[in-house]
Amino acid sequence: MLTLIYVDTSVFDYMDLFEFSTSNKILDIVFVISVAVFIYINTIIVYKLEHIIQDSPIPKTSFKRINKIITIYNILLFVPLIIISYQIIFEKSYYIHFIYLILLISHIFGLFFSIAGLLKFLRWSKQSKEKLAITYLISFALFSILIIFSLLYHISEISKHPTNITLINYHKETQTKSLNIPEIYKFYISTYILTFFAIWVSTFFLMYQHVSKNPVKLFVTMLIPMILFLINLLPNTTILIVNLISMYPFLFPLYTITSTLSFFIGPVIFSSVIFILITNTKNKTFKNYLLPLSYGLFLILVSTQPSVFSKVLYPPFGLISLLFSGLSVYMIFIGFYLPSVSIKNNYLMFRTLIGKYQFELFKNMARVEYENEVKKIFDKIQKGDEFKLSQKKNIDQLDKEEISRLVEYVKRELKIKDNTGKGKDNTGNKRYT
């Protein structure tokens, strides 16, 4: 996956290095192979996520609904990609409408789960007051804004091209349009920078507990992605690099290789922090639930980074990486939601995480989910006539027998809710209710 995204985002850099032109058939073949690899990777990821969700405490009805959404998403995404690949190989052109369709599907899919994550963290942060929950609330808000600006920017740029996309002069296209920066791009890049900073801050909080005894190691580890990220984006550093290359041309190949790689270092470090968390728990189920979060954080940053895709549409390199944006938000949402729901329903899992600060976020989210379920049951009780709570001014007016019946009723309702899922996780542990 990392290799695929690197090739997709850096092909045009290597075109300059090896003096390729867009008419070269090798580029067409590379793009078609990239599409095939993307479909394969996407299918494998969705298949593994489906099995993880199937063994989770999510109710069967919700699982079936999510499964239908994913199936429709894949069909609507894969079919236009295959058609574009066919047209590029045999007709040396393709219709731009397929690009519009693919971008809409991918971005709407990502926006759906980013808003879902935003609403979840809004509730979790309100009730738990956890600082990490607040930072991830901000992150999901920025995910939503970033996806919207990404879609608007790419569609506005693509709309300048003809309906039938054919061979173009890559160098002429990038040189003539590079100075004309649209307003929407400024919002897009600003949101991307803010998203990077939000993830950086939340990763810093998570990593602090592991290396707090070694502050030098902490700051070096966290400053590396920040410095490399800023070098690639700040105008002053970009001008400095251009001047150095003009003075010392032999540096150009080195810059070509390292410029794209430097964008990957930050996302890789962020994902590595989650992998560190995974190694800190012996619960296999919890590890499986955290894996999507690790991959999702990596994908969201590398898939939404600016590229020349919308300027050079033949071959449409950069499109494949951009299409990972929808899947990445889905993985982040699942990576947060499944652990919190699982801790809520699995007492053994809850006990194994006690005393581990880095999992405090998930325990607080689980507590909020549990409290909300109990609240719904009490709302149901108040509307019913079985306990006649509406006639009681406070809990002190209930006798011992009524309290026992009330507790048993709540426990029974929680078990009924639990039975709408699987009843056990994939380790065989009974869920805690």
pLDDT score for 408:
74
How far apart CA 230 and CA 233 sit, in angstroms, is 5
How far apart CA 360 and CA 366 sit, in angstroms, is 10
Task: Decide which of 59 and 301 is more confident.
Answer: 301
pLDDT score for 234:
63
Q: Are 329 and 117 in contact (CB under 8 A)?
A: yes
Q: Which of 64, 68, 74 is nearest to 38 (CA)?
A: 74
Q: What digits encode the pLDDT tens for the residues 192-207?
A: 889 988 888 887 777 7
Is the pTM here over 0.85, yes or no? no
Is pLDDT of 35 > 90? yes
Number of H helices, E strands in the chain: 15, 2
Q: Kindly report the CA angle at 413 between 408 and 417, in degrees rounded to 5?
A: 145
Is pLDDT of 136 > 90? no
What stretches of 129-234 show up as alpha helix (H) in DSSP? 131-158, 170-177, 183-211, 215-233
* Cis bond upstream, residue 215 (ω within 30): no
Residue 234 DSSP class: -
Enter the tokens of residue 118: 């935003």
How far apart CA 295 and CA 277 sit, in angstroms, is 13
Mean pLDDT score across all residues of the chain: 76
Residue 397 DSSP class: G
pLDDT score for 227:
74
Lowest mean pLDDT among 40-49, 114-123, 260-269, 338-347: 338-347
